[in-house]
Amino acid sequence: MSARSAQLISLTWRESRGARRRLLLYMSAISLGVAALVAIDSFADNVTRSIREQSRSLLGGDIAFSSRRPFTKEQKAILDTVQKRSSAQFARVTTFPSMGLVQRSGKTRLVQVRAVSPNFPFYGVITTTPAGRWSSLQSGPVALVDPSLLVALDARLGDTLSLGMMKFVIGATLKDVPGTPGVAEIIGPRVFIPEKYLPETQLLVFGSTAEYGVLAKLPSSADPRKVVNPIRSSLDKQQLRAVTVTQSQENATEAIQQLSQFIGIVGLVALLLGGVGVASGVRAFVSRKIDTVAILRCLGASSGQVLAMYVVQAAAMGILGAIAGAAIGIAVQFGLASVFGDFLPVDVEVTLEPAAIMTGIVIGGWIALIFSLRPLLALRNVSPLQTLRRDADSEVLRMRWNDVPRVLVNVALIGSVVLIAVLRATDLKQGLGFSAATLGVIAVLTLAAIFLSFVARKALRSGWPYVIRQGVANLYRPANQTRSVILSLGFGAFLITTLYLVQSNLLKRFEFNAAASQANLVFFDIQDDQLEGVDSIVSAKGRIVQSAPIVTMRISRINDRPVERIVADSRARRRSDSLARAQGGAAAESVRKRNADEADARKRGAPPRQSGRAGWALNREYRSTYRDTVTSGEKITSGKWFSSAALDGSSDTTEMSLEEDVAEELRVKLGDVITWNVQGVEIPARVTSLRQVTWTRFEPNFFAVFASAAFRSAPKQHVILASVADGMTVATLQRDIVSRYPNVSSIDLTLVKETVARIVAKVSTAMRFMALFSLAMGIPVLFAAVAATRRDRIREGVLLKTLGATRGQIIRILLAEYTLLGLLGSLTGMVLAIGGGWAVTHYVFEASYAPALVPALGIAALMLGLTVAIGLLAGRDVFKETPMSALRDI
């Protein structure tokens, strides 16, 4: 480094005295944005690493095969082939819900039973209290249970636990079971039993809800994907699900990636808001430095030297602000683990993630620098003549609109926003969409500010009281702060309101409408011959609200096209489209054009192409019902309910009503015929209506509902919803039913509601924290915006005082100005947020959206209050300054 540069750096450092604290305060506007990015990126990295390290333990094997029904001959043949070809070892696990009853206390509870073979699991260690009891599970009729079950059933170790017809001794409680989040325990405590006693429980009867699983352990050199991929079509054909350890890892990280994406967006927007605050603050800083720069220019400093000095100061403070943000982010990262830990399938080891920290600091520092450059550039134009004759700040700092460095900095600023958004988004389209939306918001707010200045100038009337005229005139006079305040305020209002709207729409998904259903207890897995008996026991102690038969079935054909063919065609087309896109050029263009043509055709009413997607909807097992009426939780959206011929069984083809979303997934319309495989019997049904179902009601809801006549004699089970007076009666009724009918399970809906409420409370807390964090961000940003014209305000204010204005008059002038600024800024931000909330809810979370106008107006009012308060607070300097000292300055 040359001596000259070293001296300049030394001069830069010394000259920054007195301004460092203020500059750091302005730069702190980006700290919270950096904190959000560092926190979520670090936490997501922690989780992803933990999942990767524990992925085998999560699954328990290298491949997990599963089926919703006992393995058929064909499925067993596939498994045998896998075992032979890959020298795999197999372990079995059967999972199903059941009622557990402790004889001593007489209490009963729904539990998740896992009947496991002796070699389960292959990976991961299940620990117990007392320690070491897992190895003795297979020694006899022993049950190992979640600790919460002992509390719920008032039981202790050594007690007898009845599961169906079999009694087990509670041998120990489970301490750590890899692969299940803690929150699952709230819904159904786990009970592990030896597989060999499963038949004796007599719990797995026709139609029982169960998952039959086989874990495969492969030789260490084998690749699970190479075992599964060649037999994928056979697996699909036989409805045998297979998940490799890689897929399991991807599934487990998907949720955290979504969360990371959402919080990352919040952090990015907060960072940009911080950038706006930095620009305002640095503008104020630049105004204060005009005199010093003029002196330096007199003494021989070039414009480059002067700019370099202040860019270095701003960059240094920006880095410090970003480092402070990173430190806050690290602290928040540890907090995230405790908030979300229950929802994660692994134990997350929270460690510092240098890459995430450095990325946050670099992005934050860059944003601070690029937003500072805009106002700093004006210092190049400060003439040394200002030492002799001082012009107004706005005149001194004026730049031509086509000033080349200014244009370049603007381009770099926009480019930075776009680049950062694209790098953080899941794909290019989303990144470009986000940056376009952000720049659009800034553009709209800027236009709103220009509009306000214009209207203020035109609307001003000489007949108005002086204080109002002065306040309104402040909105358009030279060097006004209208643009910076509306931009800062509007952006802040936009961020906070968008967060709130997204939160309220997401949480609506969890709102269960229990009052509408009036039921607080549900019994399921009731066999046909048990219905009357269960009905009579329940009616003796409560009231039956609803009873529904359930028939399990699968789709065999749609309009005479076999399901296997539809799925195969769909896969083939997806593969060829993917290949064409990768090749690019004419092939890719052809795919794009074909898809666009099909979309246009659908808009014109043409039938949808069958083989589009929806593998899950084609291959799944449906639990359907039959009845003659629509329930209160449903609404027919197209077509008509069943005809009398269908109801009395006189028509050839039975009729069905399909839920509208699954109809769209299946690409099925009114009049189509779906052939169902019901326990080996094929039954065609014509779609005569589509329904909208309120899934959040506490009652049985079905994708497919059939006219009664066709299924009355089909193999089925039943579900009963009951209304029971109090908790004591609920417990008694559950015990009576499970004693008489051990295979019948029940759920206390009050317990479910409480559990859901606890989960919702946790999520709400996290969302509210983010909203408060955004509000906290808005305050320094607004302060910075107001600070930019502080000197002019003080000068003006003391002049007015000198001329006889009272304190009250000056306050009313400020009030008029800030009320108008606050009103326009917060309302514009609110309107933009309604659109922004829809975009995030629709594109990121793929959920439905309804704008909550009243809370949005409340937030706008809060932001208005904040603006007025900050404006008046900044104006208090006018009262502190004496006229003499201020005039001496002039």
Partner 1 sequence: MLIANEVTREYRSGDQEIAVLRNVSFTIPQGAFVAIVGPSGSGKTTLLGLLAGLDTPTSGKVILDGHDLTAMSENERAKLRGEKVGFVFQSFQLIPTLTARENIQVPLELQGTPGAAARADELLERIGLARRGHHFPMQLSGGEQQRVAIARAFSNAPRILFADEPTGNLDAGTGARVFELLESLNREAGSTIVLVTHDAALAERAGRTIRLSDGAIVGDTEAAA
Nearest Cα residue to 65 out of 85, 51, 38, 83: 83
* Cβ at position 20, least distance to partner 1 in Å: 10
Does 882 sit near partner 1 (CB under 8 A)? no
Cβ closest to partner 1, residue 389 vs residue 880: 389
Amino acid, single-letter form, for residue 230: P
* Cβ at position 470, least distance to partner 1 in Å: 24
Among 239, 305, 394, 692, binds partner 1 (CB under 8 A): 305
Does 586 sit near partner 1 (CB under 8 A)? no
Question: What's CA 378's distance to the chain center, in Å?
Answer: 42
* Cβ at position 9, least distance to partner 1 in Å: 10
In angstroms, rounded to a whole number, what is the distance separating the alpha carbons of residues 261 and 41? 9
* Cβ at position 19, least distance to partner 1 in Å: 7
Does 16 sit near partner 1 (CB under 8 A)? yes
Does 8 sit near partner 1 (CB under 8 A)? yes
* Cβ at position 18, least distance to partner 1 in Å: 5
Nearest Cα residue to 137 out of 153, 115, 122: 115
In angstroms, rounded to a whole number, what is the distance separating the alpha carbons of residues 382 and 386? 7
Cβ closest to partner 1, residue 314 vs residue 767: 314
Helix H or strand E segment including 709: none
* Cβ at position 21, least distance to partner 1 in Å: 12
Angle at CA of residue 298, ends 10 and 7, nearest 5°: 15
In angstroms, rounded to a whole number, what is the distance separating the alpha carbons of residues 232 and 227? 9
CB 544 within 8 Å of CB 722: yes
Does 303 sit near partner 1 (CB under 8 A)? yes
* Cβ at position 315, least distance to partner 1 in Å: 18
Does 19 sit near partner 1 (CB under 8 A)? yes
Residues 261-300 interacting with partner 1 (rule: CB under 8 A)? 291-292, 294-300
* Cβ at position 249, least distance to partner 1 in Å: 57
Say how many residues make up the chain: 890
Does 4 sit near partner 1 (CB under 8 A)? yes
* Cβ at position 888, least distance to partner 1 in Å: 10
Cβ closest to partner 1, residue 398 vs residue 807: 398
Among 63, 301, 421, 823, binds partner 1 (CB under 8 A): 301
Cβ closest to partner 1, residue 144 vs residue 301: 301
690 strand-pairing partners: 638, 658
* Cβ at position 4, least distance to partner 1 in Å: 3
Amino acid, single-letter form, for residue 227: V
Cβ closest to partner 1, residue 218 vs residue 396: 396
* Cβ at position 5, least distance to partner 1 in Å: 8
Does 569 sit near partner 1 (CB under 8 A)? no
Cβ closest to partner 1, residue 17 vs residue 461: 17
Q: Which part of the chain contacts partner 1 (CB under 8 A), choosing from 9-17, 61-69, 195-203, 223-231?
A: 9-17
Does 539 sit near partner 1 (CB under 8 A)? no
Residues 195-214 interacting with partner 1 (rule: CB under 8 A)? none
Nearest Cα residue to 171 out of 134, 203, 142: 142
Helix H or strand E segment including 230: none
In angstroms, rounded to a whole number, what is the distance separating the alpha carbons of residues 49 and 58? 13
Does 311 sit near partner 1 (CB under 8 A)? no
* Cβ at position 875, least distance to partner 1 in Å: 25
Q: Please state, as a whole number, how many other Cβ atoms lie within 10 Å of the Cβ of residue 56.
A: 19
- The three-class DSSP label of residue 783 is helix
What percentage of the chain's residues is helix, strand, coil (to nearest 5)? 60, 15, 20
Helices (H), 391-526: 393-396, 404-424, 428-459, 466-473, 482-508, 514-517
Task: Give Cα separations from 308 to 9, 155, 409, 633 (angstroms).
Answer: 9, 75, 15, 68
- From residue 358 to residue 397, the character string flagging contacts with partner 1 as x (rule: CB under 8 A) and all else as - is -------------------------xxx-xxx--------
Helices (H), 87-197: 147-153, 182-187
Cβ closest to partner 1, residue 300 vs residue 585: 300
Helix H or strand E segment including 206: none
Nearest Cα residue to 277 out of 593, 558, 3, 492: 492
* Cβ at position 829, least distance to partner 1 in Å: 38
Q: Is 354 exposed, middle or buried (0-12, 13-18, 19+ CB in 10 A)?
A: exposed
Cβ closest to partner 1, residue 11 vs residue 255: 11
Place of tokens 């095969």: 65
Does 7 sit near partner 1 (CB under 8 A)? yes
Cβ closest to partner 1, residue 4 vs residue 461: 4
Cβ closest to partner 1, residue 181 vs residue 384: 384
End-to-end CA distance of the chain: 41
Helices and strands, number each (H, E), in the chain: 30, 21
* Cβ at position 316, least distance to partner 1 in Å: 15
Place of tokens 């064909």: 74
* Cβ at position 394, least distance to partner 1 in Å: 17
In angstroms, rounded to a whole number, what is the distance separating the alpha carbons of residues 197 and 518? 39
User: Which 8-state DSSP code applies to residue 513?
Assistant: B
Does 680 sit near partner 1 (CB under 8 A)? no
Cβ closest to partner 1, residue 9 vs residue 437: 9
Q: Which part of the chain contacts partner 1 (CB under 8 A), choosing from 11-19, 176-184, 329-337, 407-415?
A: 11-19
Does 24 sit near partner 1 (CB under 8 A)? no
Judged by CB under 8 A, the number of residues near partner 1 is: 33
Q: Is 73 exposed, middle or buried (0-12, 13-18, 19+ CB in 10 A)?
A: exposed
Helices (H), 165-229: 182-187, 198-201, 224-228
Residues 809-848 interacting with partner 1 (rule: CB under 8 A)? none
Cβ closest to partner 1, residue 1 vs residue 728: 1
Helix H or strand E segment including 126: none
Cβ closest to partner 1, residue 4 vs residue 73: 4
Cβ closest to partner 1, residue 1 vs residue 515: 1
Among 1, 17, 404, 586, binds partner 1 (CB under 8 A): 17
Instruction: List residues binding partner 1 (CB under 8 A).
Output: 2-4, 7-8, 10-11, 14-19, 291-292, 294-305, 383-385, 387-389
